[in-house]
Amino acid sequence: MNKRIGILTSGGDCPGLNAIIRAVVKCASLKGWEVYGIPYGTDGFLRLEQKQCSSDDLKLKEHGYDLPGILHGIDILQFLSGSILGSLSKGNPNDKAIAKTIIQGYQDLGLDALISVGGDGSLDIIYDLAQQGKWNIIAIPKTIDNDVPFTDRSIGFDTAVDKVTSALYDLTFTAASHDRTMIVQVMGRNAGHLPLRSGIAGGADIILIPELTPQIDTDLIHNICIHIAKLRCSGRKFALIVIAEGVKNLQGEKEKYIGDYLAEKIDQASHKLCLSDQPEFCDLEKIETRATVLGHIQRSGMPSSYDRLLAATFAKKAIDLIAEAKYDQLVVKQNGDVGSQPLEKVVTHIKQCHQKGFCPNPVNPDGFLVETARSLGIYLG
């Protein structure tokens, strides 16, 4: 049976979104289905109702992106970062007027199902809209934070780990050249998956994540200085610190530039230790501490081969679920296999965590990755 399906990307962009779009179009086209790309998340339905675009404008075809030379069709999309559809998180279902217009846009497009690619916040919003509009929806998780629950991996995470690891490699040499302590502030919101994995892979000496060090305190700063002093006593005159953006300051408040904040506190504490009578701390006075915020470059770059493979398998599973009329599902990666989880279960968990201020999918403080970091001599607080 011929179907008409839509696909949208919402929330923060990340590598792999275009690869999903490509795979969905290719899988659906082989079934004879029509695919419509909804621009700018749920805003696309608003634009449709406001006559800013037509249904013909939204139709995605396997040969809809012809480029000069030998590159034709949509295959080039798997190499591109960002999203050709745009990625926003608007269309709050709590606004009845906006929700009504969005729902009407879905109905006017005549969709049999919608594939929504988003993170935990986007899933929350789109699920509420889908419930109000009685949409047939399949969700695919994407975020460099890797904080969507019930899935081991989200699209974009693997590429972000590679991106941060590469930056740590580069910063190691400038740190070593100047005998400096280099602090690198990494994204991840309230989850430490990205800083932990990239920190281990990038050779960090210290990794601070919300699950283990929810906020900076005087003992933590003191212990960081001691760890740096031990490195210097062993002949290692530089150090690399990775800190998650979700770690809070001494007052338990969010800092926009937590890396700079930590650098200042380390300088102050190391100066005090230098004034003590303990000779192992004398060298701390020579420390120069610099902070680097990697920022949105972590969400850019060509998707890794793993993210492209993940995009293909997630897209295939989404199409399978639609073919089986098994809706309201989140496509997930669990224990090496691609499967699905009921969206009601996923969104309920997300809402409960957000209400309590918890991360929906945190790093396991007692997990093997944490054990590995400690076994390598990395200080985690």
Distance CA 112, CA 322 (A): 9
b/e string for 122-139 if b means 16 or more Cβ within 10 A? Answer: bbbbbbbbbeebebbbbb
- Catalytic residue from among 43, 145, 147, 158: 145
Distance CA 94, CA 99 (A): 7
Distance CA 247, CA 256 (A): 10
Distance between terminal CA atoms of the chain?
Answer: 57
Report residue 359 as tokens: 């991360």
Task: Reply yes or no on whether 145 is catalytic.
Answer: yes
Find residue 241's DSSP bridge partners. Answer: 183, 206
Active site residues: 145
